[in-house]
Structures are given as C-alpha cells and as structure tokens.
Chain A
Amino acid sequence: MMSQQASQPLRSRVELFLEPASKTNKLPDTAALVNVLEKFSEGHAAVVIVDSQERPVGIFTPSDMTRIRQAFLQDRKTPAKDLMSAPVEWVELSDTIEHALDLMQSKGIHTGIAVVTDRRSQKYAGYLYRSSMAKMLSAMLGPKAF
C-alpha cells in the first residue's frame, strides 16, 4: 500500500523538482575560486562549472570545501577548473525522480545532481537538490507516508 503510494511521485519527472539554471549555481569554466566561494556564500550547496557550450564539466560541493580553503589561502586567483570534481554525473529533464535517486545512490552522490536538457546537447538545465526533492516528495506523499 505504502509502496504504491510512493511509486507515483517517484515516477514524476525531474523537471518538476528542478532549480532552474537561471537562478543557480552555474559558473563558466574561466571562473576563479573566489567566484565559487561567492556562490557558496549565497547559499548554494553545489556550484556547477559549464564550458562554452553550456555543458557541465565540473562541480563543487560542500565536501570540496577543505581543498578549496587550502588552495584559496595559498593563491586567491586559483582557477576553479583546477580544483573542480569531474566528470559530472547528470540526468535529463525527462528522466524520473526514481532514476535520479538511483543514480545518486549508486554513485554515492549526496548533495544533488546536475540536470541537462537532453542527452544530445547536454546543455545544463539546472540542479536537482536532494533536500528539495525530500521536501517535495514528503509533501506529495502526505504525512502518513512517514
């Protein structure tokens, strides 16, 4: 009964839960660490680095903070691409939440996952935060689900 309830929202598409690229965490691959820190200080839990064709090529998450701090204190002009984690795991807008969660689980990704418009262009569309997914899924399932 409960798994039937849960399966419907899990089949929802990623785009429903997405934080769009327009108001996020995207930086060009020419950015410096200071720009990454600015994004973090604005409250983004992940910063995605994109190339000139808007494809995600690297990412920073809270677990990178230690090496960011070390590099930043040594040289404040360090380019972001020298420290970013790559390659970036991503899902498409049309993928299901279940697929996104399975991918995150299998790859040990905690913060969230990058979303691209489609497999062909791989253009960055936004970021899917685990925390916002949890909130929305919780609301969709209702209090009895927990």
Chain B
Amino acid sequence: MDALTDTNVIINSIEAVTEWRGLWAFLIGMVGSVAYFTVVYFGFVGSGKESRDLILGYFWGKNGRTTLAKVAWYSLVGGLIAGVFQLAERAFVPVQSFILGATWPSIVGQLLSGRQSGLPPGGPLGDKGITPDTSKLEEDKAARVAREATDLLAEPGQTPQGGQPTPGP
C-alpha cells in the first residue's frame, strides 16, 4: 500500500514537472506570497498597527525600511512550497497553491512544531504550557534579542553606554 502510494507520488511528480504544473504552482505560490505581503503592507489585516509592524519588521533592512530582497526571498520560498505540494497532486490545484503561498509560514511552523516535539501534549506540565521545548525556544529567543540589541547599540554613531562590550566583527 505504501509502495503504491510512493509510486503514485513519483508518477505525479514526473507528470507535474513534464506538464509544467509544478512551475505554475510555483508562480501562483509566489503571487499568493506577494498578495499576503501587500495586504499586510497596506494594513488591511491585523488587529492594529503593532501587529502590522511586528510582521513587517521581518522585512526590514538595517535602515528600518522594507527591503525588496526580503520580499522576493519570502515570495520565492512561498512559490517553492506551493510547488512541492503540487508534486503530490494528480491535477493542477491553483487555489491550493495560492493559499500555500499566502500562508506558508504558519504551515511550515505547524509542520515543524508537530514533528520536533517528542513530548505528549498535556503532560504533567504540558497542560500549563511549559515543557523543556518551550524553555529552549524562550532561551533561543532571548539569545536572538540579545544579538539584535547588541547590533543596534553598535550602529554607527551609537556608543554603548555601560552593559556588555560590543563584540567585534
């Protein structure tokens, strides 16, 4: 049964490539990603300015403005993910590709969190939302923020006042 499924996926993949479905899915996925970015950029979604800035912050460069390179990178990944999901389909699924392109960060996040956690949900501490996994995530987040803060303090014209000495390049 599994072998049959695997064979079907391989056949679908070959067909997807030869019939250019994969390429179309890739392009539509990119359109989905750009559409999502546009909607956030103009503030049509989100509970307020803060949530909008939080999302757009990931697209900012060092000057505090949105960089086209990051938008292109985001869209490229959205397109690639849409293309990968198309490989498992026998028919061309443009709507799925568009939705995947628009929502790929949450889909990837769900896939990763579902596979990385070896702990059963709702264990003795799990129902309190506290597990070694979340602890590790919090530590990683703190380390990332520490790096960002150090970088910001080291921006040209800014002399760190007290605190940790700024590491060299």
Contacts and interface: CB of A to CB of B under 8 A. Distances in A.
B128 A105 contact: yes
Question: How big is the A interface, by class?
Answer: 35 or more
B124 A38 contact: no
Contact of B146 (A2, A42, A138): A42
A18 interface: no
Say what secondary structure dominates the interface of chain A. helix
Given A40-B145, A67-B50, A138 B132 contact: yes
Max count, chain B CB within 10 A of own CB: residue among A35, A37, A41, A74: A41
Interface in A117-144: 129-131, 133-135, 137-138, 141
Interface residues of B, number: 40
Interface in B151-169: 152-153, 155, 158, 160-164
Nearest to B154: A41
Contact of B134 (A39, A40, A134): A134
Interface of A: 2-3, 5-6, 10, 34-35, 37-45, 62-63, 65-67, 69-70, 72-74, 76, 98, 101-102, 104-105, 110-111, 129-131, 133-135, 137-138, 141, 145-146
Given A66-B54, A72-B152, A101-B130, 4 more contacts: A38-B163, A70-B64, A130-B130, A131-B135
Max count, chain B CB within 10 A of own CB: residue among A40, A72, A76: A40
A73 B64 contact: yes
Interface string B140-155: 0111111011101101
Nearest to B135: A134
B64 A38 contact: no
A45 B144 CA distance: 10
Contacts of B143: 43
Contacts of A145: 123-125
B138 A102 contact: no
B139 interface: yes
Contact of A146 (B53, B119, B146): B119
A67 B125 contact: no
Say what secondary structure dominates the interface of chain B. helix
A104 B155 CA distance: 35
Interface of B: 50, 53-54, 57-58, 60, 63-64, 119, 123-125, 128-132, 134-136, 138-139, 141-146, 148-150, 152-153, 155, 158, 160-164
25 contacts: A34-B158, A37-B153, A38-B161, A41-B163, A42-B146, A42-B163, A45-B141, A62-B142, A62-B145, A63-B54, A65-B145, A66-B53, A66-B54, A67-B50, A67-B57, A73-B64, A73-B152, A101-B128, A110-B138, A111-B141, A131-B138, A134-B130, A134-B134, A137-B125, A146-B119
